[in-house]
């Protein structure tokens, strides 16, 4: 029945990634760090309950100390990061949405951490941007003994935001064998059953008071799948994409489309009376309920609904990019070409994909030569998705983009952060290898 309510194919999923918005005005950069905090992370063997009434499934996970399903900080906080690797294999932290911290860049600046080892990043992480972030240990996870979970991080705005509840909505996918064990990506998934969780749970309830406003921080923590999340009967107002604020706009058909690693913040206003509605996920093959939005039967929070929300405060990214003087490079994805390498084979001696002087605008033409959609992730920077004729750009910022087979997309970004940064690419196929290259901002 869900599929009749919510029909979507792979091309519609990819087209949904081109939704438009307009950014608010820039604000001055933040001043000195508000707080200097110590964050201890642990990569360890863990379990997750994926089959009701049966034994838990072994996985690997990244946890804060003490364990926290979503670590929360404020814009301007400075984090000293320590990682303890209690896995039987090497690992490395991979950040989604974190701009400009060259010392934390996996592989290009920080080598993998051996099993049983511990390290403290020499360069602290300055939370210069508010938004929804993801840190994971999947960069070296292809073909591992077990699949791994990611760890959401929330950085709150310095200014107050008119919401009643703030909820992380981390979606992850699993492939289960008949014996109930789960396989890591990068291997053939045949004879496995797909399953999705939200915040590590199957079919959780997300509650909100009547006439309340809920901020949902959607994170696609799936290994390879482009997904759409639909809240039928609600207006879903998108407030931010990939950790950067956008001019608020309604999600088409109340559905948000996300590439793996992508994030979207949305506001949802609850009705005046209690109700329960399914939240549906579509992966291009079928729709399925993955959670419920439940309006409690407590008295309403207020007599009338809140007015439309203003844009979230800007993180200060530039309002304009000078495309006329931009450096232009072509980057091919998929297909028979040897420029990309598996993360475990990454070598700093490899030639960079391109070089740029700090402060220059860079335009990349991303061409997918493969026969499967490919997801591209730019490290350390956010980019604009250019219009077809390079005469403008989509009015939002991204750091992750799905590119259909045989398609070319052009992106532009300000290379403001000196250092060595990764490019990631992976086909939307569970068995496909994750691949990397690097670029240099001098």
How confident is the model at residue 207, as a pLDDT? 94
DSSP state of 369: -
How confident is the model at residue 336, as a pLDDT? 72
**CA atoms of 251 and 165, how far apart (whole Å):** 20
pLDDT at 179 over 70: yes
How confident is the model at residue 348, as a pLDDT? 84
Instruction: Using CA atoms of 100, 101, 104, 108 in order, give the dihedral in degrees to the nearest 10.
Output: 40
Specify the pTM. 0.92
pLDDT in tens, 183-212: 999 999 999 999 999 999 999 999 999 999
How confident is the model at residue 408, as a pLDDT? 96
From the list 402, 404, 403, 356, the residue with the least C-alpha distance to 380 is 356
From the list 271, 314, 311, 316, the residue with the least C-alpha distance to 294 is 271
pLDDT in tens, 279-317: 999 998 899 999 999 999 999 999 999 999 999 999 999
**CA atoms of 129 and 158, how far apart (whole Å):** 10
Instruction: Using CA atoms of 397, 403, 408, 411 in order, give the dihedral in degrees to the nearest 10.
Output: 10
**Count of alpha carbons within 13 Å of 389, Cβ hemisphere only?**
1
**CA atoms of 398 and 440, how far apart (whole Å):** 20
pLDDT at 235 over 80: yes
How confident is the model at residue 122, as a pLDDT? 82
Q: If you average pLDDT over residues 55-67, what whole number do you get?
A: 88
pLDDT in tens, 250-289: 999 999 999 999 999 999 999 998 789 999 999 988 999 9
Q: In the chain, what are the domains?
A: 323-441 (2.60.40.420)
**CA atoms of 188 and 232, how far apart (whole Å):** 34
How confident is the model at residue 8, as a pLDDT? 53
Site of tokens 């591992």: 144
CA angle (235 as vertex; 233, 237 as ends), nearest 5: 150
Distances (CA, A) of 90 to 30, 63, 99, 232, 433: 36, 16, 25, 43, 17
How confident is the model at residue 36, as a pLDDT? 86
Q: Prior bond to 66 cis, omega within 30? A: yes
User: 292 has which bridge partners?
Assistant: 205, 278
**CA atoms of 67 and 198, how far apart (whole Å):** 17
Q: If you average pLDDT over residues 372-389, what whole number do you get?
A: 94
Beta strand extents in 97-148 (DSSP E only): 118-120, 125-126, 131-136
pLDDT in tens, 391-432: 789 889 999 999 999 999 999 999 999 999 999 999 999 999
pLDDT in tens, 73-123: 999 999 999 999 999 999 999 999 999 999 999 999 999 999 999 999 888
pLDDT interval class at 124 (50, 70, 90): confident
Site of tokens 């991303």: 366
From the list 133, 76, 124, 132, the residue with the least C-alpha distance to 101 is 124
Q: If you average pLDDT over residues 225-247, what whole number do you get?
A: 96
**CA atoms of 112 and 93, how far apart (whole Å):** 8
- Round the average pLDDT of the chain to a whole number and report it: 90
How confident is the model at residue 24, as a pLDDT? 30
How confident is the model at residue 17, as a pLDDT? 55
**CA atoms of 424 and 379, how far apart (whole Å):** 8
How confident is the model at residue 395, as a pLDDT? 84
Hey, what are 58's tokens? 């072994």
pLDDT in tens, 126-161: 899 999 999 999 999 999 999 999 999 999 999 999
pLDDT in tens, 324-340: 999 999 999 987 777 99
From the list 326, 226, 18, 265, the residue with the least C-alpha distance to 129 is 265
Q: If you average pLDDT over residues 17-29, what whole number do you get?
A: 36
Q: Prior bond to 151 cis, omega within 30? A: no
């Amino acid at each position: 029945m869900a599929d009749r309510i919510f029909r979507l194919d792979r091309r519609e999923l990819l087209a949904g990634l081109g939704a438009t918005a307009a950014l608010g005005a820039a604000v001055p950069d933040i001043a000195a760090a508000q707080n200097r905090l110590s964050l201890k992370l642990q990569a360890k063997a863990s379990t997750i309950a994926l089959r009701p009434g049966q034994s838990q499934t072994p996985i690997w996970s990244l946890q804060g100390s003490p364990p926290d399903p979503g670590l929360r900080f404020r814009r301007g906080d400075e984090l000293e990061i320590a990682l303890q690797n209690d896995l039987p294999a090497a690992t490395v932290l991979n950040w989604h949405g974190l701009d400009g911290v060259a010392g934390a860049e996996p592989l290009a600046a920080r080598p993998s951490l051996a099993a049983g080892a511990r390290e403290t990043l020499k360069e602290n992480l300055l939370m210069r941007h508010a938004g929804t972030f993801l840190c994971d240990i999947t960069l070296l996870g292809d073909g591992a003994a077990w699949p791994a979970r990611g760890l959401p991080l929330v950085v709150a705005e310095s200014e107050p935001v008119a919401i009643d509840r703030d909820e992380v909505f981390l979606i992850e996918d699993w492939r289960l064998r008949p014996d109930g064990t789960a396989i890591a990506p990068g291997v053939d998934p045949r004879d496995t059953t797909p399953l999705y969780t939200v915040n590590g749970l199957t079919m959780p309830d997300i509650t909100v008071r009547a006439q309340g406003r809920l901020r949902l921080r959607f994170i696609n923590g799936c290994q390879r799948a482009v997904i759409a999340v639909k809240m039928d009967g609600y207006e879903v107002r998108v407030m931010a994409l990939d950790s950067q604020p956008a001019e608020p706009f309604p999600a088409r058909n109340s559905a948000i489309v996300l590439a793996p690693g992508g994030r979207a913040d949305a506001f949802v206003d609850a009705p005046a009376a209690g109700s329960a509605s399914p939240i549906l996920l579509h992966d291009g093959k079928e729709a399925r309920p993955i959670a419920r939005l439940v309006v409690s039967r407590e008295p309403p929070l207020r007599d009338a609904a809140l007015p439309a929300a203003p844009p979230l405060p800007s993180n200060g990214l530039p309002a304009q990019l000078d495309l006329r003087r931009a450096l232009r490079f072509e980057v091919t994805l998929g297909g028979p070409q040897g420029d990309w390498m598996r993360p475990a084979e990454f070598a700093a001696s490899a030639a960079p994909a391109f070089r740029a002087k700090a402060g220059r605008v860079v335009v990349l033409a991303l061409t997918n030569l493969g026969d499967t959609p490919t997801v591209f992730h730019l490290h350390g920077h956010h980019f604009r998705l250019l219009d077809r004729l390079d005469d403008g750009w989509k009015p939002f910022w991204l750091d992750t983009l799905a590119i259909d087979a045989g398609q070319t997309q052009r992106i532009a970004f300000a290379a403001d952060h000196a250092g060595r940064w990764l490019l990631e690419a992976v086909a939307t196929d569970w068995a496909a290898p994750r691949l990397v290259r690097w670029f240099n901002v001098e």
